[in-house]
Structure 1
Amino acid sequence: MSQRKLIYMDHSATTPVHADVVAAMLPYWTEDYGNPSSQHYFGRRAQNGLETARQTIARLLNAKAKEIIFTGCGSESDNLAVRGVMFAARNAGRGNHFITSCIEHPAILETGQQLVDQFGFEMTVLPVDEAGRVQPATLAAAIRPETALVSIMAANNEIGTIQPIEQLGRIAHESGALFHTDAVQAAGYRRWNLAELPIDLLSMAPHKFYGPKGV
């Protein structure tokens, strides 16, 4: 009886951790394992590693290190982006309205619906065309003076549609709204230059491109 070799074909869901990543992380499992918030030697060593990682990510994205926020997963990142912007906007008197699309990840749609149901925010859910794309004209027509945030994913996690986020982001900015994109599914497939792209908040998850889970 011949042996069959299993082939993993679900890389869009998650990827194995690359050997170089394992090697880079190993010291923090076996030597520099302190709590990075602790003030003792082991904590400071872990904190140095954390800040080095933050600076490396910032360089890859052409962003500032202080702009990099670590969360436990992509869903938490989405949740934090939407809640953070909307509550800050309301508190500053800058708006109460949030726009997203009908094919977003539940981390966006369910968070938005909770903001509507429990906190009195307003949300517009945009339709998509036959290819699953949000048309820029549709977004432009939905924006109001009180729109604080537009959140459209870069690539859909089920049908793979790539959204025209550069156009959508510019439309949001022209109205004074911030633009968030869930790039979890797209992060490993293009270059992200946040100094040039009209993106204010970007969500990524390294387990989609050979990094560890839980970040």
Structure 2
Amino acid sequence: MQSSSAVAGTAGAPPVPQVAAHFASLEVQNHAARLGMWLFLATEILLFAGLFVCYACYRFLFPDAFAAASRELDLVMGTINTLVLITSSFTAAMAVHYAKEGQNKKVVTMFVLTILMAAGFLVIKYFEYAHKIHVGQLPGPHYHYEGIQLPGVSMYFTIYFLSTGLHAFHVIVGMIVLAWVTTKAMRNEFSYRNYTAVELGSMYWHLVDLVWIFLFPMLYLV
């Protein structure tokens, strides 16, 4: 067993990572953590894939309604949100880079910037939602927008709110995860030997960005 001083590390230095009893080494433990995250991300992709298939089926059934409804979305807001998320993925990736070098203060800076951009994304999405609720572009039987009265248009907004709402939920979860990792970086816990938590948090955030990269053209451009 490692002594408590070995685990805590010297004053001001990152603590030495502990290896669980059922792992042969730290490398094996980190590999298992990454594999677990990849499997989790795969299930998340399958979740959104179901929505993509649903969109494709209904667009085939109601092509005119879906084309007209997509033109009702705010392309400017959608584009800004896309740029915001792409930039946030860059800062999340830089956090991993700095964690490998043991520069925990820069890890904190990068993740704080990522969280702020995530908050900005949600604010923009709030204004989009507020406008659609105001004019009646609501899902299912609640749709009462007078501008488009075509069969299937309410289904478009059902898929829109379901997919973007689910994505927004993942954004919130990602912010919580990154905030937790940020607190660990503030305690100077990461180094070249121990940065897996930063890497896994960044991987989850890249998933959030990747899903939006598919949602944006599907809902706003196609």
TM-score, normalised relative to structure 1: 0.28
Max Rg structure: 2
TM-score, normalised relative to structure 2: 0.27
Structure number with the higher helix fraction is: 2
Structure number with the higher strand fraction is: 1
